[in-house]
Chains A and B, each alone.
Chain A
Amino acid sequence: MKLMVSVKRVVDYNVRIQVKPDGSGVVTDGVKMSMNPFDEIAMEEALRIKEAGNAEEIIAVTIGEQKAQEQLRTALAMGADRAIHVEVDEDIQPLTAARVLKALADKEQPGMVLLGKQAIDDDQGQTGQMLAALWDRPQATFASKVDLDGQKAKVTREVDAGLETIEVDLPAVVTTDLRLNEPRYVKLPDIMKAKKKPIDTTSLADLGVEAAPGLKVTNTAPPPERQGGKKVESVDELVSELKNRGLI
């Protein structure tokens, strides 16, 4: 079985985000970029499935600018066998990403597509679900445990009420949650080996995919600065302060 893992290049989670003065987005020039942490968890899960003897090949996919190949190299250094770079200069929407992954799934015929439940840049959390619909295959989202059993997968999901375990027929789409696993450290010799692994570059046109129109970011703004708290001496003072402010 082949596994396909999609990885997105995002601003590193340690970076303090700054909004561009014109509100057109966030500053990415000179900012550290990394693989979306949820995608890293998806990659790690794929590696564990392969190491357990349940898959033969892992294909890492990214959709984005030329530099997104850095994240593919990281995926290859983690242990992916080969990579596909769908080169796109503009920001893409979840539906476009889902269409691209559907086209690649048709071509590669993976037994499972794994991806993060959301990317930490725009937090849309839609691509996996849209892919499952377009591909007409089952989906197991927010996975915190994945067990393979022949042509089925048992997936434990983190839902509001607790944990839910579902069974899906393969091929299926699995989106990964934070507690599924802890991604490995990339080993230094594997970084050198990753240099020799192939990255195929393709485009939306090559895949016959049309970019989805629809969403347009009209403004990006930082959250309002929080005002400092105020200490009061007694409960009475607290009540009267809240009343004065019209909060109770």
Chain B
Amino acid sequence: MSNTSGASKLPFDLTPSEEQQMMRESMQRFAAAELLPAARDADAESKIPDGLLDAAHELGITLLAVPEQYGGAGTERSPIANSLIAEDLGQGDMALALAILSPLGVLNTILDQGSEAQREHYLPRFADEKFLPAATAVMESTALFDPSNLQTTAKADGDGWVLNGEKRMVPLSSHRPLLLVLAKVEGEDSPAAFIVEGDNPGVNFEAEPLMGLRGMEPGQVTLKDCRVEGSARLGGDDGFDARRFLNLSKLGLGATACGVAAGLLEHAIEYTNERVAFGEPISHRQSVAFMVANIGIELEGMRLMVQRAASRAEQGLDFEREATLAARFCGDHGMEIGTNAVQLLGGHGFTQEYLEEMCYRHLRAVGILEGCFSI
């Protein structure tokens, strides 16, 4: 995404620039008209509606992220602009937003850490007219995610690599996406990343039912003697900064969670003002009003922490601490907002008549998922 820093020259200012504001409006409109109405069915069927990914692609999210020399329209990557876009799409539906943004995570990482040859080879494909399904394959079957001890392995084999292992919760799985796979290379402490074509015969995709985010078509990916060229190793000899990648992913997830929370807040205000009990709107009760106010306060905290980390990333400053705190905060408070939003609707919140129960299941993923969408 191009560099569209805020209106002020101050290092941390959340006033969007005119361009950022226009982008947000376009995304908000798309999210309200295309994602929100499709969210329930996508969740029930674990399926992205036909044509949605191409329609979203027409908005130019990836095209703008690809620099001009690789056939795109972009200039510089902007984690701030990306997190704003993620929030706006997330307000429509978190699962569909992550499906739409999934290729951007791969693209950004190739742009950020790929060699020049890799950029030249892969980036033009993201600037194509059609949506390019692409996803990062990070999580594994272990109880706790430990990037320094991945079970997926890469072994040198002649001038290429052979990958073996299982990856979980990979978006767009039924589309056989282009993959960015994190794997352990023997003798190396930090994980390596490999770009694997979705039609590689050594890759198998299988749909994976999850508690939430079903609309992103999550899947399990099995790599069995999956051979890739030597040039598929991201960053080549310069290596791959997995921490940087994972930190940017945390922010992507946190930003989409802010969108979900913003949608819940909006509906909580509307609902509690309209729902009458004991002769007056339930929002007149302090116990209800405080709960709504807390959602607003927690959401603002989530947003500020994500934006602060994104701002530091955009300025080229170290942002690991900020990203880690933001991820933790978004995970905890996202869940809290989800459960309180359900509670505010009482019995209604527990039914599928409203979106609260689904949003709650989505938000439960924030503290668990790793590497879904790197901004």
Residues of A at under 8 Å CB distance from B? 34, 70, 73-74, 77, 185-195
Tell me whether A73 and B74 are in contact (CB under 8 A). no
The distance from the CB of A43 to the nearest CB of chain B, in whole angstroms, is 14
The DSSP consensus for interface residues of chain B is helix
Tell me whether B18 and A188 are in contact (CB under 8 A). no
Kindly supply a per-residue 1/0 record for chain B positions 59-93, scoring 1 wherever the CB is within 8 Å of any chain A CB and 0 otherwise. Answer: 11101100000001111000000000000000000
Question: What residues of B have a CB within 8 angstroms of the CB of A191 in the complex?
Answer: 19, 22-23, 26
The B3-43 residues at the A interface (CB cut-off 8 A) are 4, 18-19, 21-23, 25-26, 29-30
Question: What residues of A have a CB within 8 angstroms of the CB of B2 in the complex?
Answer: 192
Give how many A-B residue pairs fall within 8 Å (CB-CB): 49
State whether the Cβ of B318 lies closer than 8 Å to any Cβ in chain A: no
The distance from the CB of A114 to the nearest CB of chain B, in whole angstroms, is 21
The distance from the CB of A89 to the nearest CB of chain B, in whole angstroms, is 20
Question: What residues of A have a CB within 8 angstroms of the CB of B60 in the complex?
Answer: 187-190
Closest to A12 in B: B25
A185-B29 in contact given A192-B2, A192-B64 (Cβ < 8 Å) = yes
Contact-residue size bin, chain B (C-beta under 8 Å from the other chain): 20 to 34
Tell me whether A192 and B26 are in contact (CB under 8 A). no
Query: What separation, in Å, do the CA atoms of A192 and B78 have in the docked complex?
Result: 13
State whether the Cβ of B157 lies closer than 8 Å to any Cβ in chain A: no
State whether the Cβ of B199 lies closer than 8 Å to any Cβ in chain A: no
**12 A-B residue pairings within 8 Å (CB atoms):** A70-B21, A73-B18, A74-B25, A77-B22, A185-B26, A185-B29, A185-B30, A187-B63, A188-B63, A189-B72, A191-B22, A192-B75
Closest to A195 in B: B19
Contacts A74-B25, A187-B60, A188-B23 known; 14 new A-B pairs at CB < 8 A: A73-B22, A185-B30, A185-B59, A186-B25, A186-B26, A187-B59, A188-B60, A188-B63, A188-B64, A191-B19, A191-B22, A192-B4, A192-B75, A195-B19
Closest to B33 in A: A185
Tell me whether A192 and B59 are in contact (CB under 8 A). no
Question: What residues of B have a CB within 8 angstroms of the CB of A189 in the complex?
Answer: 60, 63-64, 72-74
Query: What separation, in Å, do the CA atoms of A34 and B22 have in the docked complex?
Result: 10
Question: What residues of B have a CB within 8 angstroms of the CB of A194 in the complex?
Answer: 22
Tell me whether A188 and B61 are in contact (CB under 8 A). yes
State whether the Cβ of B280 lies closer than 8 Å to any Cβ in chain A: no
Query: What separation, in Å, do the CA atoms of A74 and B21 have in the docked complex?
Result: 11
Tell me whether A187 and B58 are in contact (CB under 8 A). yes
Query: What separation, in Å, do the CA atoms of A187 and B18 have in the docked complex?
Result: 15
Tell me whether A192 and B25 are in contact (CB under 8 A). no
The distance from the CB of A229 to the nearest CB of chain B, in whole angstroms, is 13
Query: What separation, in Å, do the CA atoms of A70 and B17 have in the docked complex?
Result: 11
The distance from the CB of B56 to the nearest CB of chain A, in whole angstroms, is 9
Which one, B18, B26, B63, B75, contacts A70 given CB within 8 A? Answer: B18
Question: What residues of A have a CB within 8 angstroms of the CB of B61 in the complex?
Answer: 188
The distance from the CB of B125 to the nearest CB of chain A, in whole angstroms, is 17
Closest to B127 in A: A189
Question: What residues of B have a CB within 8 angstroms of the CB of A192 in the complex?
Answer: 2, 4, 19, 64, 73, 75
Question: What residues of A have a CB within 8 angstroms of the CB of B1 in the complex?
Answer: 188
Tell me whether A186 and B58 are in contact (CB under 8 A). no
Interface pairs A-B: 3 shortest CB-CB: A189-B73, A187-B60, A186-B26
Question: What residues of B have a CB within 8 angstroms of the CB of A185 in the complex?
Answer: 26, 29-30, 58-59
Kindly supply a per-residue 1/0 record for chain B positions 286-330, scoring 1 wherever the CB is within 8 Å of any chain A CB and 0 otherwise. Answer: 000000000000000000000000000000000000000000000
Closest to B1 in A: A188
Closest to B20 in A: A191
Closest to B81 in A: A188
Query: What separation, in Å, do the CA atoms of A77 and B22 have in the docked complex?
Result: 9
Query: What separation, in Å, do the CA atoms of A77 and B24 have in the docked complex?
Result: 13
Query: What separation, in Å, do the CA atoms of A193 and B63 have in the docked complex?
Result: 13
Query: What separation, in Å, do the CA atoms of A191 and B23 have in the docked complex?
Result: 7
Query: What separation, in Å, do the CA atoms of A194 and B60 have in the docked complex?
Result: 14
Query: What separation, in Å, do the CA atoms of A189 and B29 have in the docked complex?
Result: 17
The distance from the CB of B298 to the nearest CB of chain A, in whole angstroms, is 23
Query: What separation, in Å, do the CA atoms of A192 and B63 have in the docked complex?
Result: 12
Query: What separation, in Å, do the CA atoms of A6 and B150 have in the docked complex?
Result: 60
Query: What separation, in Å, do the CA atoms of A192 and B64 have in the docked complex?
Result: 9
Closest to A191 in B: B22
A186-B22 in contact given A192-B2, A192-B64 (Cβ < 8 Å) = yes
Query: What separation, in Å, do the CA atoms of A194 and B64 have in the docked complex?
Result: 14
Most buried by B among A34, A74, A189: A189
Question: What residues of B have a CB within 8 angstroms of the CB of A73 in the complex?
Answer: 18, 22
Closest to B19 in A: A191
The distance from the CB of A83 to the nearest CB of chain B, in whole angstroms, is 14
Question: What residues of B have a CB within 8 angstroms of the CB of A186 in the complex?
Answer: 22, 25-26
Question: What residues of B have a CB within 8 angstroms of the CB of A74 in the complex?
Answer: 22, 25
Question: What residues of A have a CB within 8 angstroms of the CB of B73 in the complex?
Answer: 189, 192-193
The distance from the CB of B347 to the nearest CB of chain A, in whole angstroms, is 23
Most buried by B among A70, A190, A192, A194: A192
Query: What separation, in Å, do the CA atoms of A185 and B25 have in the docked complex?
Result: 9
Query: What separation, in Å, do the CA atoms of A194 and B73 have in the docked complex?
Result: 13
Query: What separation, in Å, do the CA atoms of A185 and B64 have in the docked complex?
Result: 15
Question: What residues of B have a CB within 8 angstroms of the CB of A188 in the complex?
Answer: 1, 23, 26, 59-61, 63-64
Question: What residues of A have a CB within 8 angstroms of the CB of B18 in the complex?
Answer: 70, 73
